[in-house]
Amino acid sequence: MTDQINTRSGLKLVIERATSNGGLEISLRTQTSKAVILHWGVRQNGRVGWQLPPRSFWPDGTTAVPGQSAVRTGFTRRDGEGLILVHFAQPSDFSSIEFALLFPDENRWDSNDGKNYRIEIPNSPGMSSENQSASFEHVYQIEGFGGLTATVTRETASTCVTLVTGIAGPLLLHWGVARRSPQEWLLPALSTQPPKRLCTRIVRPKRPSCQVTMA
């Protein structure tokens, strides 16, 4: 699964997620000659704020930040690009990595205007991969913002569509469904609508749709 974050500092981060030795490996890659440090922590479902990542997750060279629930990891140079690899055990108790960027040579921060950036961690508890197979995956580039990764997973008796993005929120998905033609736009059945929804039958003329806040 690949995503891209276009940061406010102009740095483009390519995020890749892959299984590795029974765990999850998340890589961050960027094309830059500048010194860049990832200031990051993890979030857990149901808990507020950052948490200090378990030490077993720290890439080489990572240091703790005194008095903060965060660590700092520098991008290493490999094949002409900056790279950070983070390994998570699976299933993971954490739902996302939250981070800001530090440019030490310039004494400058990019914290996404105080909102930080976020990388979703798939297969957290409640998202078991048993009896699942990904039948479709595509990264949609949203100009000026970043990427949105859509994955369709077929389970034993249902199909699940997962959307993952590093675009800073709040973000609203305006959507409908089609049965026979791409030109159709129908109101999704109640059974398919995620929780925390605001759904209306008339959002724009002749296009019944559902609006979902992306957490």
Per residue in 16-28, pLDDT (tens digit) is 988 877 788 999 9
* Contact status, residue 149 vs residue 5, Cβ threshold 8 Å: no
The third-level CATH classification (topology) of the domain covering 2-120 is Immunoglobulin-like (2.60.40)
Q: Cα–Cα distance between 39 and 18 in angstroms, integer?
A: 22
Q: For residue range 116-163, what is the model confidence (pLDDT) as tens digits?
A: 999 988 754 434 444 444 556 666 777 767 777 777 776 666 777 777
**208 band by pLDDT with thresholds 50, 70 and 90:** low
The CA-based angle 68-70-71, given to 5 degrees, is: 120
Is residue 74 predicted with pLDDT exceeding 80?
yes
Q: Cα–Cα distance between 173 and 169 in angstroms, integer?
A: 11
**111 or 77, higher pLDDT:** 111
Q: Please give the structure tokens belonging to residue 199.
A: 């759904």
Is residue 45 predicted with pLDDT exceeding 60?
yes
Residue 35, classed as helix, strand or coil, is coil
Q: For residue range 159-183, what is the model confidence (pLDDT) as tens digits?
A: 777 777 767 667 778 877 776 666 6
Which helix (DSSP H) or strand (DSSP E) does residue 108 occupy?
Answer: strand 108-110
**Domain parsing of the chain, residue ranges:** 2-120, 170-215
Query: What pLDDT sits at residue 198?
Result: 53
Q: Exposed, middle or buried: residue 148 (CB in 10 Å: 0-12, 13-18, 19+)?
A: buried
Query: What pLDDT sits at residue 11?
Result: 93
Q: Cα–Cα distance between 52 and 140 in angstroms, integer?
A: 32
